[in-house]
Amino acid sequence: MSYFVMDEYDIIVIGAGHAGCEAALAAARMGCKTLMFSITLEAVAMMACNPSIGGTGKGHLVREIDALGGEMGKNIDKTFIQSRMLNMAKGPAVHSLRAQADKELYHREMKKTIEAEELLHLKQGEVIDLIVEEKKAAGVVLKTGAVYRAKAVIIATGTFLSGKIFIGDAAYESGPNGLAPARTLSDNLRKHGMELRRFKTGTPARALSKSLDYSKMIEQKGDPVVVPFSFLNDELEKEQISCWLTYTNDKTHEVIRSNFHRSALFSGKIEGIGPRYCPSIEDKINRFSDKQRHQLFIEPEGLETDEIYIQGMSSSLPEDVQREFYRTISGLENIEIVRPAYAIEYDCIDPLKLRTNLEYRDIKNLFCAGQFNGSSGYEEAAAQGLMAGINAALRVQGKEPFVLDRSEAYIGVLIDDLVTKGTNEPYRIMTSRAEYRLVLRQDNADLRLTEKGYRIGLASQERYDRFLEKKKHVEEEKKRLETTYVTPSQANVFLEEMGTSPLQNRITLAELLKRPQINYQSLSQIDDKMPQLSSHEQTQLEVQIKYEGYIGKQMAQIERFQKLEGRKLPEDLDYEEIDGLRIEARQKLNQIRPVSLGQASRISGVSPADINVLLVYFEKQRRLKKQ
């Protein structure tokens, strides 16, 4: 085949899924001429699995992406058909926004945004090779022989890389949703020294909504007041579509158990490792044999289609078995399946091969994002894509990397977990992974990150001005509440109505707001000087005051954490030469090359005793230099 150079760019992005879109938009918005390839333009921001954005932990990521200047939050606000705030019975640290999307509209709106971005070009084409010169990424080669050169390359291939679909005994090469896979790129990445491994994910069947009996299910309505994902939106009003809840039963489980031998998962056909926190229905029934039922949600895929998504029922069983077990479920007795459930295997890398800025260690200017890094989920992919796009742009511009640590963002937790601890299965973010989750709430993502996004040139002036306005309003109102007193005669009738104890002495409005029965809006009954705050501002103010003591304690923990993070380690340090380190610690430290003592302390196989050895070693080095 003859090869020909078509054009040159600052940055090339391979893949146009949720990681690729955020990476390409970030790079272009930071001033880099950017080219993004998709194996088919129908795959741009495609929701190959659940047509939703957000959820527990994931909602935090979307808010952080938005605060930095990313697109996912704005796009779901345009295209949602139902919105719910999850975990409202718990504290604000775990409140998580989730929205059901019109998946076709989500794709179209994201594609429209990409096409309108001045420095971003979108092309259909299959990348089959990287151009690597002197251990530096320098461009890509297409299946057609076209060559595009670049100063940096981002790989965001999702589940397309050597994708293989399994439905019972059937196994065939395919990308998600029946699209073409990327077959050749894997072999060429190996030729460049990249070690690949196989992971697996899956998706449930899609069925016709008109074939279901919703009278036998439990309706799940959206919230009456919609909380936007994007901090640029104050209110969203839209007629919402209901989802529905139903359950498996003994008969369902009996059908599945009797067909375990026909599942690609149990027959040994699937080599890839699947996600622990999103197992197939046959895996659930096998692992949790004592459970009498499993819930499943019936979720519309959009306003212009009759297809519905059956959440919680992914499977690799044959089509005849799928139809049989689905029809044992209440409301699904006459189900008509239009797309069968399937499992899909794909190639990805070990994220321990990445630096904290998501650059591949052995090939300079090559950045990696999304499921290619071993994660799962749209939100995890988008967060990595955003950070890869930012760091590729900073590299091209000759600037320092942008890295968020675990105390700054869920994005920091996600990336630190991947590049420091690695993962043996598709990684999913959860609130329990964040040690400082009381500070890393979704409601304050803009206060934590918008200034950082603005300083690196990604967050817009409009966003930054809104952030400053919100910050000012919250600070001024908090100060006013802390210095405004109410007396028993002013407040006790109100307090009795609110079901809380009366006052004996005067107290501040801030102290009153700390009571669980009182919210900010209710204070207007005894406070005639209350300003007009936005819903974002009210939420932020209330949380800051009610949880002030807990937040203070967590900030003290963060201060101790950052001391270790501030102890930087030389990149060229040979840990084999440090006496006292255990063999495993030496191997792991040389493999991962941690940037700080804090990161070193989180590496599996590096003990507290090893960290003490490093502290002693550096103290000796300091004294020698002083002498």
Summarised one tens digit per residue, pLDDT across range 428-487 is: 999 999 999 999 999 999 999 999 999 999 999 999 999 999 999 999 999 999 999 999
State whether 113 and 186 are in the same domain.
Answer: yes
Mention every residue, 6+ apart, whose C-beta is less than 8 A from residue 394. 30, 400, 401, 402, 456
**What are the Cα distances from residue 361, in Å, to 19, 355, 470, 591, 594?**
20, 6, 40, 10, 12
Residue 267, pLDDT above cutoff 80? no
Dump pLDDT digits (tens) for 391-434.
999 999 999 999 999 999 999 999 999 999 999 999 999 999 99
Going by the DSSP 8-state scheme, the letter that residue 181 receives in this structure is P
96-101 sheet: strands from edge to edge: 52-54, 96-101, 80-86
Q: How many other β-carbons are positioned within 10 Å of the β-carbon of residue 286?
A: 17
**122 belongs to a structural domain:** yes
State whether 166 and 240 are in the same domain.
Answer: no
Dump pLDDT digits (tens) for 102-156.
999 999 999 999 999 999 999 999 999 999 999 999 999 999 999 999 999 999 9
State whether 529 and 610 are in the same domain.
Answer: no
State whether 210 and 313 are in the same domain.
Answer: yes
**309 belongs to a structural domain:** yes
Place of tokens 């029809």: 327
Q: Residue 622: its pLDDT value, please?
A: 84
State whether 254 and 322 are in the same domain.
Answer: yes
Residue 310, pLDDT above cutoff 90? yes
**472 belongs to a structural domain:** no
Q: Residue 366: its pLDDT value, please?
A: 98
Cβ proximity of 381 and 375 under 8 Å:
yes
Residue 600: pLDDT band with limits 50, 70, 90: very high
Q: Which two tokens stand for residue 300?
A: 């519309």
Q: Which of 343, 360, 381 is the last residue of a domain?
A: 343
State whether 61 and 129 are in the same domain.
Answer: yes
Q: Which two tokens stand for residue 495?
A: 């307090």
Q: Residue 235: its pLDDT value, please?
A: 83
Q: Residue 274: its pLDDT value, please?
A: 80
Q: Which of 292, 318, 343 is the last residue of a domain?
A: 343
Residue 52, pLDDT above cutoff 90? yes
Q: Residue 624: its pLDDT value, please?
A: 82
State whether 281 and 298 are in the same domain.
Answer: yes
Measuring CA to CA, which residue among 93, 117, 89 is closest to residue 25?
117
Number of domains in the chain: 4
Dump pLDDT digits (tens) for 282-300.
989 998 888 999 999 999 9
**Which of 83-92, 270-279, 353-362, 449-458 is predicted with the least confidence, judged by mean pLDDT?**
270-279
* DSSP helix, strand, coil percent of the chain (3-state; round to 5): 40, 20, 40
Mention every residue, 6+ apart, whose C-beta is less than 8 A from residue 549. none
Distance CA 302, CA 49 (A): 13
Place of tokens 């044959």: 318
Distance CA 440, CA 432 (A): 12
Distance CA 287, CA 292 (A): 12
Distance CA 72, CA 53 (A): 8
Average pLDDT score, the chain: 95
79: helix, coil or strand?
helix
State whether 322 and 434 are in the same domain.
Answer: no
576-584 — which CB contacts under 8 Å span 24+ positions?
A: 578/613, 578/614, 578/617, 579/613, 580/613, 580/616, 580/617, 581/610, 581/613, 581/614, 582/607, 582/609, 582/610
For 103-118, the DSSP string reads HHHHHHHHHHHHHH-T
Residue 2: pLDDT band with limits 50, 70, 90: confident
Q: Which domain does 378 fall in, by range?
A: 4-200+345-455
Q: Residue 625: its pLDDT value, please?
A: 83
Amino acid residing at 225: V
Distance CA 579, CA 455 (A): 42
Q: What is the pTM of this model?
A: 0.95
Residue 627, pLDDT above cutoff 80? no
Place of tokens 């040159």: 8
State whether 181 and 256 are in the same domain.
Answer: no
**What are the Cα distances from residue 280, in Å, to 259, 288, 316, 577?**
14, 12, 8, 47
Measuring CA to CA, which residue among 592, 511, 545, 359 is closest to residue 443?
545
Cβ proximity of 159 and 176 under 8 Å:
yes
Residue 55, pLDDT above cutoff 90? yes
Residue 75: pLDDT band with limits 50, 70, 90: very high
For 185, what's the count of Cα atoms within 13 Å in the CB-facing half-sphere? 28
Which residues are bridge partners to 203 per DSSP? Answer: 342
**229 belongs to a structural domain:** yes
Q: Which of 455, 490, 513 is the last residue of a domain?
A: 455
State whether 211 and 191 are in the same domain.
Answer: no
Distance CA 453, CA 30 (A): 10
Residue 621, pLDDT above cutoff 80? yes
For 508, what's the count of Cα atoms within 13 Å in the CB-facing half-sphere? 12
Supply the CATH number for residue 538's domain. 1.10.10.1800
Q: Residue 279: its pLDDT value, please?
A: 85
Distance CA 391, CA 411 (A): 14
Q: Residue 381: its pLDDT value, please?
A: 98
Q: Residue 275: its pLDDT value, please?
A: 80
Distance CA 335, CA 319 (A): 13
Residue 277, pLDDT above cutoff 80? no
State whether 98 and 132 are in the same domain.
Answer: yes
